[in-house]
Structures are given as C-alpha cells and as structure tokens.
Amino acid sequence: MNNLWRLPIGLSLFACIAFPASAAGESSRWGLGDWGGTRTELLEKGVNFTIGYVGEGAANLRGGYNDDRTARYTSQWALGANLDLQKLFGWNAAEFQLLVTERSGNNLSNERIGDPRTGQLSSVQEVWGRGQTWRLTQMWYRQRFFDEALGLKIGRMGVNEDFNSFPCDFQSLAFCAAPIGNVAGDVWYSGPVSQWALRAKYNLDEHWAVQIGVFEQNPSNLETGNGFKLSGSGTQGALVPVEVIWKPTVGAHALPGEYRLGYYHSSASANDVYEDVDGRPQGVTGMTAKSRSSKSGWWVMGRQQLTSRNGDASRGLSVFASFTFHDRETSSIESFQNLGLVYNGPFDARPKDDIGLGVARIHVNDDVTKRQRQINAASAITDYDNPLYVPVQHSEYNIELNYGVHVTDWLTVRPNLQYVRHPGGVYEVDNALVAGVKLQANF
C-alpha cells in the first residue's frame, strides 16, 4: 500500500485516541493553541490568523477504468489573515483578507477511476486540482455602507466565495464548493485560483439580498506558474454573475435556510461544441470549430434545516439540492444536479458529529455525444480498446456516504464511501467503489 495512504489513517487513529469525545468540547479552537493568550488578544484587536489544512485519501475498492487497487493522498494548506480595519484603524465597517494556499499530492480519479481519454467528470478528492502549487487565493478589501446594507468587495478572489456558494464537507467534488465551477471551470474560476474582481451586494432586509460581480476572464491565471500573477496580460473578457439570495427561518426554533438563484455570462470567445466554421458538423468535416462570442448558464440551489434535536437547533436534519444549466452551443456539460441530506448531532454522546449522504448527476451535452460518434464513424474505428477511439460520453452519477467525527473543535475526521456510476459518462468504464477519508483541521 502506498505510504501516502498510511498518513491519513495514522492521523485519524492518533486523533481519535489522543482526543476522546469527552474532551472534544473542551479543546482549543486551534490545533496550535492560544499562543499563551496572544491569539485571543490579537483576535479582540481585529487580527484573525488562518492556518488550515485539508487532507484527502482515497482507495479504489472495486471497478473503475483501471481496477488495479491502490490509494492516493492529496492535501491543501491555507495560510492567511483577516484584518478588522475598524478595530485596527477606526475605518468603519471595513476589512481586508489575505490567503495563500498550497496544494500537493495525487488524484485517484485520474489514475484509476476515469478513462484517461476523458477523465472523470467529477473527482473523488475535491481538494485536488488547478495545479498542485502555491497560489494567492484571496487578497481583497471590503467596505460596507448604509448601516452595512451595501457591501463592496474589490481585489483578488474566486467566484465561489460569493456566488453559487456551497459548503465543502463532502470529499466528492460533486458535493463541494460552487457546482458551477466544477462543471464550467473553463470560465468560472473557483478557489484556489483568484482573479481581479469587483462584487457589490445589497441586503434588502434580514432575509433577502441581491449581488452582482465582474471578474477578470483570464485563462493564464490557471497556469501552474502563475499562482501569484497580478498583471492583466492574457485577459480575454469578463465573467459577470448575478444572484438573488433568500435566507428564511422555519418553525419555533428558527431553523435556517438559504436559497440562491443566479445567472452568469462570460464575454470571452468560446468554441462551439458541435458546429464548424461553416455551420456543419465538425465531427464529420474535421474543420475548425465555430467561435461563439460568449458563454452563459444559470443555477438554482438551496439548503434547509428541517428538524432540531431535543430543542437544540445546532443539531438536526438538513437537506440540500443544486441544479445548474449551461448553453448548449459552447458547454461540454449541459446540466448538473445534486441532492442530499446532512444530520448534525445524530447521537447524544457525539453531539457535534454529523452524517452526510449525497447523490449527483452530471450530464454531458447531447451535441458532444453526437460529435464523438461522428468522429468514430469518420475514422471507421469502433473498438473501444483502440487508443484512437473517442469514448462516447453520456451521464456520470456520484454517491457519497460519510460520517464526520468531531475529534476536537479544531479537527474533524470524515471517513466516507463513494460510488461512481459510468465514470466520465462512459458506459464501457466499470462502476467504481471508493473508500476515502477527509481531514479538516484548523491550526
């Protein structure tokens, strides 16, 4: 077994032994402690340091493109600080955020689960990707006006920080961060990638808000060597997302919910996935693809807590769902859907643990499927095992069941089982069963 796989298992066992459930609620919120009280003092003065770690191990138990069993481990460090400028300098309702991240390791999806000619549409290790390197992930200034009803945010940021935002506790990418960024990543750059941007948000009241952003559309920001690039060279246009947010509360215990409806438009040129420059099937003619002047899509998503536990609103059942749709002319992925549930505090003896279950479907554009068939027909290659065959893609399904062990207030260990049906949307690839473990730590 790969030595990297032993690391998360060892950390998990050590954490569970060293920090029993009875001590979890009494532990520090930081793995490195309070620095003799200095950290709390700095926090009270407006300086909040971030030292975060996410590690994810995965092993293929059965199936996938390559059923040779192995394991892979990938991780991310996040180092930064948030400055409350009102506390520090008296600047009313102002703050500054700086965050640098580093990703390293390997991804099981690339090496075992998906056909290398197509890859997996999702990933069994969400923290892998966008180059295993150091990046400037956040460097922004935010100012609030009119009793904090209006917020302006400017600087370097990822689109997912504010738009189409979704928690990232699951290990499968299908249930983590902004769904748009997972299936339209050629125009929507989620963290750890950042770009120059401006976002304006207006809170209509305590439940309703609207926001709009303008993000630099610059593919060079994705390159591994450009993690700290600040110049605008290579910019091809702008991504403009708009979103309406509703945050209701339900029942006597005011159980929270959040619902988002949004739309994005990219002004950068994009290739048509089916037609060539003359409007004919590109898979038949082999000519250059037609260039379109823009790319767009929209989303609707929601999370709602449904129950509390013994009157404790921090415990109980919550449900979530997300749906995204993309224009058929330029998008390889036509639609994405996920739904699931999370139960916080399922056991009285473990009030801070949680159980999660999610199911997702990623559907490839029918025009992409048609084009792939046309390419194979034109080349007269019908054998899937022929290296020159173009795999035909349809829909990929992802399922994850996990249990989050709240070891301490700074460490959660989340073992999980994942099932991937039709990896890459390719019917010839065997369905895969994957065992994983996710570590989330705040030092």
d(CA 40, CA 292): 53
Other CB atoms within 10 A of residue 230 CB: 10
Q: Does the CA dihedral 147-150-154-156 come out positive or negative?
A: positive
Q: Which two tokens stand for residue 429?
A: 């690839």
β pairing state of 354-364 and 289-292? unpaired
Query: Is pTM beyond 0.75 here?
Result: yes
- What dihedral do alpha carbons 178, 303, 443, 228 form, nearest 10°? 20
Are the beta carbons of 397 and 426 closer than 8 angstroms? no
Q: Tell which residue, 108, 200, 168, 99, has the closest CA to residue 140.
A: 99
Annotate 359-413 with DSSP letters as a single string.
EEEEEE-HHHHHHHHHHHHHHT---TTSTT----B-EEEEEEEEEEEEEETTEEE
Q: Which two tokens stand for residue 316?
A: 């109980």
Q: Which two tokens stand for residue 277?
A: 């420059």
Contacts of 90 (CB under 8 A, 6+ apart): none
d(CA 119, CA 113): 8
Check residue 46 and give its pLDDT: 96
CA 118 to chain centre: 20
d(CA 314, CA 307): 10
Check residue 193 and give its pLDDT: 96
Please give the single-letter amino acid code of residue 326: H
> From residue 198, how far is each of 96, 135, 143, 146, 266 by CA, in Å?
14, 20, 12, 19, 15
Contacts of 355 (CB under 8 A, 6+ apart): 342, 343, 346, 401, 402, 403, 404
d(CA 234, CA 216): 10
**pLDDT tens, N- to C-terminus, the chain (443 residues):** 444 444 444 444 444 444 444 333 346 889 999 999 999 999 999 999 999 999 999 999 999 999 999 999 999 999 999 999 999 999 999 999 999 999 999 999 999 999 999 999 999 999 999 999 999 999 999 999 999 999 999 999 999 999 999 999 999 999 998 899 989 999 999 999 999 999 999 999 999 999 999 999 999 999 999 999 999 999 999 999 999 999 999 988 899 999 999 999 999 999 999 999 999 999 999 999 999 999 999 999 999 999 999 889 999 999 999 999 999 999 999 999 999 999 999 999 999 999 999 999 999 999 999 999 999 999 999 999 999 999 999 999 999 999 999 999 999 999 999 999 999 999 999 999 999 999 999 99
Domains and CATH numbers, the chain: 3-442 (2.40.160.180)
Are the beta carbons of 154 and 215 closer than 8 angstroms? no
d(CA 299, CA 296): 11
Check residue 310 and give its pLDDT: 86
Q: Tell which residue, 80, 85, 79, 98, has the closest CA to residue 46.
A: 85
Q: Which two tokens stand for residue 47?
A: 């300086």
Q: Cite the beta strand spans of 132-225 per DSSP E.
A: 134-145, 150-157, 195-203, 208-217
Are the beta carbons of 20 and 408 closer than 8 angstroms? no
Check residue 31 and give its pLDDT: 94
d(CA 182, CA 297): 13
Count of alpha carbons within 13 angstroms of residue 330, beta-carbon side:
20
Element (H, E) at 181: helix 179-183
Phi, psi of 30 (to 5 degrees): -125, 135
Annotate 309-360 with DSSP letters as a single string.
BTTBTTSEEEEEEEEEEE-TTT-SEEEEEEEEEEEE--BTTBTT-EEEEEEE
d(CA 214, CA 155): 11
